Structure formats: C-alpha cells, structure tokens
Amino acid sequence: MKVFAATPTTLALLAVFPTMVQGRGAKSYHRRKQETGSKRSASPEAMEDKKRRQRNLKLIRDAAGQRHLFKGNLRKPGRTDVVIGGVGYAGAKLGEVLAETGSVDFVMLEASDRIGGRMSNVPFGAGDKKYSIELGAQWIDGIDGSPSWDLAVESGLLGSFDEFGFEVYDENGDRDLFEEYFEEGSECLAVDTANSISDSIAFGCLQVNEGDPIENQTLCDSIASSGSLFVPGNNDDISVEMTWDMAADFRIFDRDSPSSARNCQTFYEDFEQGLAPYEVSTNNSVPLKAYVDFGDGDYFVSDDRGFSWLPKYLCAKYLSTSVNTPEEIVFDDERLKLNHKIVVVKWDPEGEKDVIVVACLTERVDDNPNMPALFPCKPGRRNLFLIRANEFVSTFSVSVLRESVRLEKEGVSFRDSVDIAPRFKPALSETIEGIDIILGYRAGIYNKAFFQFSKKFWSNAAYMQSAYSEGPYVGDFAPTWSNRAREGLDPESNILHLYTFSDRAFELDQMSKDDVIEELLPVLNGMFDANITELYGGPLTKEDVLDFYLTRWSVDPLFYGGFDLEHINVPLSSRELFKKRYGNLVLSGVYSCDRHNGWTHGGLLAGERTGILLLKERYGYEDLDTTNICDNGTGQTSSPASFPTSFDDI
C-alpha cells in the first residue's frame, strides 16, 4: 500500500496553515469538525448584512406608505415597469423587493407550470403511498443568519440535519473499513491530505493580491513552471486536478488503488461541485462561504411540499392567492404568469427605448420517460404576446445564456430556437464585450437516480460510497448512494438513490430509463450480495424495481445543468459581466452573487441585490444601502446622474 508521505512541502504547508478547516468540501469539513470539535457561527459580515437588509426594507416600506404591498392585476395590460425572466429563488425575491414599494409595477414570466426553478420535487413510489423526492436542490447550507434558513423556520419546512456519515465499498463491492476509517496509508486519507493542500494553495498563493508578500514561497512554487518562482498576480488560477498533481503529487492512476482513490475524491470534490476536479477552479471555490457566513449545519429537506415551498411561500407574501394554507398555495395575481416562456428580448443598449419582451404560452409535455418534463411553445400566433417595460431582468441560468450566445454565433434564426433558449436583440455577443467566455462553461450537475424496492437490503448509513468501475469510469461509475430509508427521513420508504457527477452524470442524462437501470443494478448486487440473495433469492433484476426516476437537468432546455458554480474556464474577473446592467437589460440570478454563487440562498440574495440596485438607480430610493454580501461586503456607489448606465464597481 502506497503511503501518502508528509513531504517537505506538506510539512511547510501545515506549519503555516495548522487550523484550516473551512476548505472546499463540505463533507471534508464535517470530518474535520468532528475531529477538532470546532463549530462556526454566523460571521460579523453576515450579521451586518442581515441588519442592512432589514434597514433597506424599512426604508422601502416607510416610503411606500399606503401603497405597501399592492396586490392584484396589472395597472396597464401590456405595459409594466420591470419584466422578471424566471421565477426561481432570485425572481421570487426580486418580485418581493419591488412589491414592497407598492408603486413599481412588474410582471414575472415563468416558462414552466411552477415556481422554484431548480428547486423541484415530485411524488415518488409505487402504490398509494407517495414520497416527495427532490430533483434539484436538497440542502439548506449554513443555518445561522442564512436567509434561507430563516425562511425555512418561518414556513415550517421539514427535514433533518445531515452529518454526511458514509460507508465505503471497494470496486468488488466489499465494505472497506481501511478506507472508511482513514487509516494511515489509505486512499481516503491521501485524498483528504491532497484536498487540504489544494485549499492551502488557494488561500496562501492564488488568493494573495498582486504585489503582496506570500508566507510560504516553497508551497506556492510547487504550482509554478519548473524552476521558476511563483509571483502573485490577478486572476491566478488552475484546476483542482492540476493543484493536486503539482502541489500534492497526487495522481489517480499512480495510486495503488485508483478506483478507491477516485471514489473518495468524488465525495470530497465532485459531490461538492457537481463537476470533476479537472473542471473546477482552485482559487474561486474556497472557502465555502455558506459556512463562513452562516455557520455550521446542512439541513436535508424532506418536506412533502418540497424545497420549492420556500420561493412559493415568499411569493405568497406579495402576490394575491386563492388558496393560502400551510399545505397549499394557489396564486391568483396577474403579475405572475406561469406557462409563459420568453422567446425574444428586444432591448436597448442605450436604455432610452422600451424593452419589448416576446413570450409564448407553453404546455407541459411529459409523455417521454427518457426526458424531463418539457414546456414547448403552443403553436400559432394567438399564443404569442408581447409586453413593454422599462427594464428586463434575466434570472436565467448561465447555461441558458450560454446556449443563447451559441445560437447567435451559429446564426440560428429566432424561429428555429424558440424551444432551445431565449434570444436577445441586439445579440449579446455583439454588444457585451467578453461574454463569449461562457461558451466554455458547463454547469455542475447532480444526476439523481431514485430506486424503490419492496425490501430494504442496505445498511442504515446515510451515504454509501462505491468504487465500482466500468469502461472509462474508475471509481466514479456509481459513486455515491444516499439512503432515504433511514431514521429521521422515511424509514419505511425503501428508497435508495444514486448521485453521479460530471461526465458520468451527463452520460446518464442521455440514456434511456431501462438502460440506466440495467447498468446500475449490478453495482447494488455487488455491494449487498448476501442480503439481496437472502431477501430476493438471487440478484436484483429490473422486475424488482418498484419505481424509478432519473433527473435529467443537463437536457432540460430551461436549465441545461444542475447549478451554477466556479468553472475553471470562467475566471472571477469575467464574472463581472453577469451581474451588470446593460442599458435596460439587467443580468441577475444566482451566478451574479459572487460570494454565494452555487448555493440556493445565493439566488435569494442575488434577487434582493438586484431589486435594491434597481430601486436606488431608477426609482428614486436614494437612501438605500447597496452594499451586499454577494459582493464580498464591498460597497456599491450609486451611478452618475446621467442614465442609462451599468451596475459598475460591484
């Protein structure tokens, strides 16, 4: 067994960063927390941001007076102040900020038939008993001062705290206690060490400002060209895989057990980022700001109402409803338009003319078991309409914007792209310098494959890691299994689901339901052979699967991926492009929240940030404080008096 030795670089690293426990992987952080007994609470910056948000809300309400929380129909059909594209967490929060004024009119356009975006749940299970399974967002991360946690407590969202305890099974399906217990010389301990070194490279080298001294030259030189010194500069970055290779001398296929090494790596890296280490930025993915700002705690949502209850509950604060009970909310407000997909946004880079949004009515199509539910435009001109506004705010995912730019570059007509991605006129690629960089972007993804069986044959562990290998996938073929039938969740459900990531997840998205089941059952037969034989009389077959569901986020044209995060192909400086105003086009959404990009609460914070900026710059709320934790707590100066402008200096 190859021992992961403490090299001079490693020892020097540990001398400089002896107490680092806030690195890239939440799962590795939980392990360190258990070892050290450390526990974090909300940061001073987060608490100040919460007070600032409360002060802003009071200012808006004081100014609104009797106009507070106007509910009902649009004042002028076909005309509004702001069109909000997409009603996920960001769109829901932006709507609330505007609604608080009682005077700024808006319309929220959502292509699907629900609120929530990538917060989505469906009923699952054979027979009469159904369980709610989350297809996208699963956890509230950080619970001290987090706006999501506050909303969850207020709305009574059900779930349980997750400590990410796991069992390890080797490539033959045998439980591997040596790896599981992080014994000296184990692949999991080597992964843990390499992960720590990678974190320290980010903190001690890549995040050092140009011209500032570095504390450990030897450590930083490990990622420089051979024989050269590392000198801090702007936008320094390399992929996590390269950092592990250069600084930690860790390469999967050099390990004694590549399958176990890669499998442990998926739990540390892929499970956090949704992508493999070769795609993830070392610099921009640490520390995990959710825990830095909002303290410890991961709340696994298992409420029948779904994670999407949070944005629905939020919308019910300012939109009129026909039903509003603790179990159900039905909206009845002209400002919320579900099944209305944006096709074209005609905007003015100078901001002098109205923005014109063309949308179509959609219909739900879910008759293909090998595709997600789709929402194509209904045919016919009578199902098209347009609305004029002062501004259009996009909360579309970066992957959707990427597809829009790709269509522009390929010269695809508007007519031929209505069910692929919204289009912009003038083209984004012709008016926003540098936006082409998103053509190299790929969103993170958790592909979830849910199984229900008649009998439970697995253990009570929360998670089970499988190093099963097949084809090009070494240790990451079916890496992380989650036990829904555990205490605190649904012990009688007999539901087990698989997380896959990166290339493997994108591959499964393209496969048929039957083919996926056929590929995955041998993994379970290997891991739990004795129990399965005892309970079922032989290996599992497709007939033993009572119910099955596969998420397919990467092929869903409303998202094209699971969640937005720190991709190595998009440096932090280029992210400035995606949180600005361009005339009367405003880019918002979770990707515009630098500090909390990729987290569900980042969407909420981004929507609030955009709303405050709009009110201050366009609607006379000059006393609002636009400092926002999304921008690492930096101040936001107001724009020059001349308009239009952009959200500069953010």
* DSSP codes of every residue in 387-453: EEESEEEE---HHHHHHHHHHHHHT--SGGGTTT--EEES-HHHHSTTGGGGGG---B-EEEEEEEE
Please give the tally of structural domains in the chain.
3
Q: Omega before 640 cis (within 30°)?
A: no
Distance CA 483, CA 388 (A): 49
What SS3 state is found at 629?
helix
pLDDT of residue 21: 35
Q: Which of 555, 577, 605 is the last residue of a domain?
A: 555
Cα–Cα dist 176/192, whole Å: 17
CA of 524: how far to CAs of 169, 176, 399, 521, in Å?
Answer: 11, 15, 33, 5
Inside any domain, residue 215: yes
Instruction: Please check whether residue 48 lies inside any domain of the structure.
Output: no
- Residue-wise over 155-184: b if at least 16 C-beta within 10 A, else e? bebebeebbbebbbbbbebebbebbbebee
Give the whole-angstrom CA distance, residue 375 versus residue 385: 17
**650: in domain:** no
Establish whether the linkage from the previous residue to 287 is cis, with ω within 30° of 0.
Answer: yes
Structure tokens at 511: 């496969």
Check residue 105 and give its pLDDT.
94
Coil, helix or strand at residue 266:
helix
Does 301 fall in a domain? no
Give the integer Cα–Cα distance in Å for 347 and 394.
12
> What pLDDT was estimated at residue 76?
60
**Do 350 and 583 contact (CB within 8 A), yes or no?**
yes
State how far the Cα of 626 lies from the Cα of 638, in Å rounded to an integer: 8
- CA 260, 263, 264 angle in degrees (round to 5)? 85
Q: In this structure, is residue 493 part of a structural domain? A: yes
User: How far is 117 from 137, CA to CA, in rounded Å?
Assistant: 10
Pure H helices in 43-135 = 44-64, 89-99
Q: Are residues 623 and 598 in the same domain?
A: yes
In a domain, 393, yes or no: yes
Tokens of 70: 């106007």
Q: Give the residue numbers spanning the domain of 170.
A: 8-39+166-296
The answer to whether residues 221 and 257 touch, using CB atoms and an 8 Å cutoff, is: no
Same domain, 242 and 180: yes
User: SS3 for 321?
Assistant: strand
Going by C-alpha positions, the residue among 472, 556, 466 that lies closest to residue 520 is 466
* Residues contacting 295, CB < 8 A, separation 6+: 39, 40, 41, 42, 142, 143, 144, 145
- pLDDT for position 13: 37
User: Does residue 605 sit in the same domain as residue 489?
Assistant: no
Q: Residue 502 region, left (φ>0) first, then alpha (ψ -120 to 50), else beta? A: left
Same domain, 263 and 364: no
Considering the domain architecture, whether residues 230 and 292 belong to the same structural domain is answered as yes
DSSP assignments along 545-571, one per residue = EEEEEE--GGG-TTTSSSB---BTTS-
Last residue of a domain, one of 510, 535, 555: 555
For residues 425 and 571, membership in a common domain is answered with yes
- Residue ranges in 496-599 assigned as alpha helix (H): 502-510, 513-527, 529-536
Helix (H, G, I), strand (E, B) or coil at 167: strand
How large is the angle between the packed helices 187-201 and 8-16, nearest 10 degrees? Answer: 60
The four Cα atoms 328, 332, 335, 337 give a dihedral, to 10 degrees, of: 70
Task: For residue 59, tell me if it sits in a domain.
Answer: no
175, 255: one domain: yes
Residue 64 and residue 69: Cα distance in Å, rounded? Answer: 9
CATH code at 619? 3.50.50.60
Residue 472 lies in a domain: yes
C-beta atoms surrounding 648 within 10 Å: 13
In the sheet that holds 340-346, the strands lie side by side as 384-389, 355-361, 340-346, 423-425
- Say whether both 176 and 192 belong to one domain: yes
Q: Which helix (H) or strand (E) holds 32?
A: helix 26-36
Shared domain check, 233 and 216: yes
Q: Does residue 519 sit in the same domain as residue 464?
A: yes
CB 282 within 8 A of CB 23: no
Q: What does pTM read for this prediction?
A: 0.90
Q: Are residues 22 and 132 in the same domain?
A: no
Q: Are residues 220 and 107 part of one domain?
A: no
Three-class secondary structure of residue 126 per DSSP: coil
Q: Which of 505, 533, 555 is the last residue of a domain?
A: 555
In 3D space, the residue among 252, 185, 207, 211 whose CA is nearest the CA of residue 223 turns out to be 207
Query: Which residues, other chains included, contact 21 with Cβ-Cβ below 8 Å and sequence gap of 6+?
Result: 29, 32, 33, 36, 38
- Give whole-number Cα distances, 237 to 200, 285, 408, 573, in Å: 13, 11, 29, 11
Residue spans of the chain under pLDDT 50: 1-24, 32, 66-73, 634-650
DSSP 318: T
**Residue showing tokens 């986020």:** 553
